[in-house]
Structure 1
Amino acid sequence: MQVELAVPAAARSGRAPTWDIGTDTLLWTDPPTRSAHRFVPGRTDHAMELPQQVSAAKTRSHGGLAMHLDEGIALFDSTGSQRTWLIYWAREGAEAGATMIDAKGRLWATTLGEGGWLVRVTGEGSAHIALKDLPAGNGIAWSPDNTRMYLSDGAARRVDVLDFDLTTGDCTNRRPLFEVDGEPGGLAVDASGHLWLTVRDRGELRCYTPAGDLDRTIPLPAQRPTDCCFGGPDLTRLYITTATDEVSEPAEADGSILVIPNLATGVRPYSFAG
């Protein structure tokens, strides 16, 4: 398996790789440095500084970006110069966590820390707490047919599955799908329904079947992979963010963006309807 270095960054904790199908670029963030990035494959990586930690930058159907900051969800225009708070939930001790957009354009986000939650946000700005007492929701994904929602729980060291109603946005019947002998990070689902999971304290990428069985393990040159997504014009390149924080002796690949070509075909990413 060929693992390549896409962005030779020195990110403290790279997060939320997101393929922008409109521009064929990769969005990603580094919360400790309060920066959001846009990587143009084969060319350069542009960084944008934010006033607080940012865990994710997602495309908007109306142009611009929706960013998950520690204090809530903010909307930025296409130039990145104008910010408007959509949801403001400033809470002491809470940090921005995982963020994903479902097929109806709703934004789902977790907060990290004691009393963390999973919230569903519509394009109009209404918010609904879907799950409470979730201190380490590290990843969110859906099955290709949108009937199942997956949640990576770093505190419980497992990946859970919920029944999902795409029309209403309801997620119910949360149950364990599989245990992880390590800290599960972000995850991505391919077109066949397999789950690709980063294991943060193992330096591994793992593939699980929809039934929760381990299909394969890919060792990575980075010690602390954090998240992953499918990208490229045909969605056949898996991008993996990594971290240097909590790595005692970082190697060249630590803190970089890795990419594995021709691994599988991903599911089309969606934009936030706000």
Structure 2
Amino acid sequence: MRTPYEVAVRAESELGEGPTWDAAAGRLLWLDILGCRVHTYDPATGRRTTRRTDQHVGAVKPRAAGGLVLNLRDGIGLLDPEEGDTGGGFRWLCREPVPGRRANDAAVAPDGSLWAGTMRYDEAPGGGTLSRVTGDGSAETVLDDVTVSNGTGWSPDGRLMYYIDTPTRRVEVFDHADGRVSGRRTLAEIEEGAGFPDGLTVDAEGCVWVALWQGSAVRRYTPDGRLDRVVELPVPLVTACAFGGAGLGDLYITTARTGLTDPPALAGSLFVVPGAGRGLPQPAFAG
């Protein structure tokens, strides 16, 4: 059965990514990594804002103190609150530039820490990391031998963490407790020709939704790894997904057009699947 989608925001993002529902503001956050832009979209009013960043930005999340936290090329930055805008003054929380490396996807854990991924621009094997950053700026590396650190999310009870290192084609699962992970194993593997797993989100039933780069789709996997639903899209580079809107019932999907010689008209747009399911409330970054 085909799942109907709508175009929420028609755009030409080079690398649209990181949809996140900002519950306090009633808006969706998303970004263009290569375009150095943070976007907001209010589905109730249609209002949109855009803010440029000084460097490539891999993820944006709400802060518990107000404002936003950014996973940037050179580290983790904070935007202070400012009424009517995507954020106020900027400052670094922790900064560790590495030549040839940039930020990629990130997620906020149940305890409010930010799990921030990196990758090399040339996608050299083992050149990326996944780090846990707390509200006071303390950072520790959780995984130090990944290539393209991507989707990260937690089960409804917080006891499992799901993770994607894109070139492996695997959606992996770890046991999670007290900011530590163990027991790494495979939940699902994307078959040849179906694309590469990119961003992910977990719904209230514990199912994992996975965006497929070069796959023109989002897939939903049950907690035991069974594929039970596919959302097909009219663009090849599907990057990430997140639930938002009233009751967290709508699935928002970001896409890209980078590297396409003849991109489809909607490549780089933000899509939405109304009433796709029920998402989990996402914690704000504790900083």
Alignment match of 2:105 (pick from 86, 89, 98) = 98
1:107 aligned to 2:114? Answer: yes
Q: Is the 8 A contact 1:37 1:48 kept in 2?
A: yes
1:83 aligned to 2:96? Answer: no
Distance 1:83 1:270 in 2: 22
Distance 1:238 1:148 in 2: 22
Shift of 1:247: 2.4
The aligned residue for residue 163 of structure 1 is 175
Moved over 6 A (4+): none
Distance 1:189 1:246 in 2: 29
Distance 1:245 1:164 in 2: 35
Shift of 1:270: 1.0
Q: Is the 8 A contact 1:224 1:247 kept in 2?
A: no
Shift of 1:248: 2.6
Distance 2:35 2:161 in 1: 30
After TM superposition, the structure 1 = structure 2 runs for residues 1-274 of structure 1, keeping only pairs within 5 Å, are 1-41=3-43, 42-79=45-82, 80-113=87-120, 114=124, 115-165=127-177, 168-181=178-191, 182-274=195-287
Structure 1 spans left out of the alignment, 5+ residues? none
The residue type equivalent to 1:33 in the other structure is: G
- Per-residue CA distance 1:172-197 (angstroms, 9 max, x = gap): 12111111122101011110011111
Q: Count matched residues.
A: 272
- Any idea what SS the aligned residue of 2:247 has? coil
Shift of 1:137: 1.5
Q: Is the 8 A contact 2:254 2:268 kept in 1?
A: yes
Distance 1:155 1:223 in 2: 17
The residue type equivalent to 2:16 in the other structure is: G
More divergent stretch after superposition (181-190 vs 214-223)? 214-223
Instruction: State percent identity of aligned pairs.
Output: 40
Shift of 1:234: 0.4
The residue type equivalent to 1:84 in the other structure is: R
Distance 1:252 1:258 in 2: 13
The residue type equivalent to 2:115 in the other structure is: W
- Per-residue CA distance 1:128-149 (angstroms, 9 max, x = gap): 1011111111100111111100
Distance 2:201 2:246 in 1: 17
Shift of 1:122: 0.6
Distance 2:98 2:254 in 1: 27
Structure 2 spans left out of the alignment, 5+ residues? none
Distance 1:174 1:93 in 2: 28
Q: Is the 8 A contact 1:147 1:164 kept in 2?
A: yes
Q: Is the 8 A contact 1:222 1:242 kept in 2?
A: yes
Distance 2:240 2:231 in 1: 14
Shift of 1:237: 0.3
Shift of 1:57: 1.2
The residue type equivalent to 1:58 in the other structure is: K
